[in-house]
Copies of this chain bind each other. A is one copy, B any other.
Amino acid sequence: MRCGMGIEARQVNELFINIDPIQAGGKLTADAMKAVIAYGDGYSVCDNCRKPNRLDYISKPPIAAFHKDLADWLNMDAVRTVPGARRGFQAVAQTYVSKGDPVLLTSLSHYTEFLAVEESGGIAREIPADEQKMITADAAAEKIEDIRRETGKVPVLAFIDHVDYQYGNMHDIRAIAKVTHQYDIPILYNGAYTVGILPVDGKTLGVDFVVGSGHKSMAAPAPSGVLAATAERAAEVFRTTSIVGDVTNRKFGIKEPEMMGCTLMGATLVGMMASFPHVKERVKHFDCELENNRRVVDALLSIGGTQLLSEYPRKHTMTRVDTTGSFDTVAETHKKRGYYLLSALEEKGITGVIPGATKVWKFNTYGTTRVQAGYLADAFTAIARENGLSVKE
């Protein structure tokens, strides 16, 4: 089945249980699917754009109300939608970071945070994770002091991932925020794996910014995301334009330079809006998601030689395992080599593991039902048994 010349229609989530680590939270809801068709045309949301002519003021479709609801839901003062979390990082870095400024990241930070620092001319300084792959407030304080001793400056900004992309570990960002604020360093909460997945309360966490990803965790089409700020920081990052045309003396009203004017448009925005009521509901049931994840993790750990690299008990459904001592031992002699694992999973209707990976790999059970989680658990142990690995009962 095709959807254009040479483009096969994608049916991954129709045909498989998909445990891809980055795709689990971005599957569209049925309402979002309707929305992308109804609002697919380029400037679809601009039919009823009226003064002051900024997209987030439009009331039909209810974009203005959505922005307010989103800010309330995150317990932050102001929200803008952006084309992906990375564009939120970029806006904040461009506001605070000048050439040569140190910026606090962590040894588990996502590459897009590094690129935001690089584009604004900053220097990346990583807070090291401890042996348990956790970023602690003590390590943050120590790093800031190190930087100060070394450069005479404190970092101008901190990007901290609440749940990191490498291990899916949950870091104590509230405690880290207390530390950065002792040095007047604004802190950005990277919620790419949390906003839309579990409850996030920006004021309680004490952060200056909350960034979320629509296509990673809010059941929205790509590229989409959210940048929320406290009132104080909103005045800085969402400052309005002051540039003037030297011939025409034109000014550009309440457009915001860091947002490049009007924010997220069309199918991406309305898809995010259509999914939002479902997303608000689903974060309340994250305990069930963890319970489903536990079943799968426990099944994997019952296979002799398997190690969990993520923290345990799990606080997030995105999980990293090391199966060098189990599934990988089979790959050595299997005629399909390392590809046998994904192949065996796909025969059982499961996909999302990197083809050929049998050593260190990640998966995400988010969005599976209880029955699917049981099925996943059984599938892994069955494949282990079929290949002669030991499984604890």
Contact = CB atoms under 8 A, between A and B. Distances in A.
A305 interface: no
A32 B25 contact: no
B23 A41 contact: yes
Say which size band chain A's interface belongs to. 35 or more
A39 interface: yes
A30 to B, nearest CB: 9
Contact of A265 (B47, B112, B223, B247): B223
A248 B126 contact: yes
B23 A4 contact: no
A216 B265 CA distance: 12
A243 B115 contact: yes
A268 interface: yes
Given A107-B247, A245-B124, A252 B115 contact: yes
Q: Which of A220, A245, A266, A270 has the most CB of B within 10 A?
A: A266
A3 B35 contact: yes
Contacts of A214: 42
Interface in A1-45: 3-13, 20, 22-23, 25-28, 31-45
A105 B41 contact: no
Interface of A: 3-13, 20, 22-23, 25-28, 31-47, 60-62, 65, 83-84, 86-87, 89-90, 94, 105, 107, 109, 111-112, 114-119, 123-128, 213-216, 219-223, 241-248, 250, 252, 255, 257-258, 260-261, 264-271, 273-275, 277
17 contacts: A3-B274, A4-B274, A5-B31, A5-B277, A7-B273, A10-B38, A36-B36, A42-B216, A42-B221, A43-B215, A43-B216, A86-B261, A114-B252, A118-B257, A124-B244, A221-B266, A223-B223
A-B interface, 3 closest residue pairs, ranked by CB to CB distance from nearest: A26-B42, A222-B266, A4-B274
